[in-house]
Amino acid sequence: MAAGPLVRVISGLTGVHDLDDPALARLTREARYETLIGLAVGNLRAGRPVVLVAPFSTERADPSAWATTTRLLEATQPTPVQVQAVLHHLSRTRLASRPTPTWRYCGSLHP
């Protein structure tokens, strides 16, 4: 993970080591996703294909935030798409244990 060093520092300072822990997620999520999008945009501008593996659940829940995210990607590549991932059993179990469902199939970036 590109934001791993930052997450490790914050994790060490807080004593929380599980990214699903609300305290650590609250402190690191925005920086992790900004890093992910920034790296994707940089690679797309360089002409390299990109696959983002992240739920983007917060962005998908807020149409304005999702529009901002998709605009950043569309500015570098004309036709980004969102695909359904085949989840490993552990991932499914982890997602299912969260308070609200955070994954579903979406045919494209635009609901």
Cβ burial, residue 99 (10 Å; 0-12/13-18/19+) = exposed
Residue 84 to residues 65, 67, 74, 81: CA-CA distances in angstroms?
A: 20, 19, 19, 10
pLDDT at 1: 72
Query: Which pLDDT score, from 0 to 100, does residue 13 have?
Result: 92
What is the model's pLDDT at position 77? 67
State the pLDDT at residue 14.
93
- CA distance readout (Å), 80 to 15, 98, 109: 38, 28, 7
Which residues in the chain show pLDDT less than 70?
Answer: 77-96, 98-111
User: What pLDDT score does 102 carry?
Assistant: 47
**Gap between the Cα atoms of 89 and 69, Å rounded:** 29
pTM of the model: 0.66
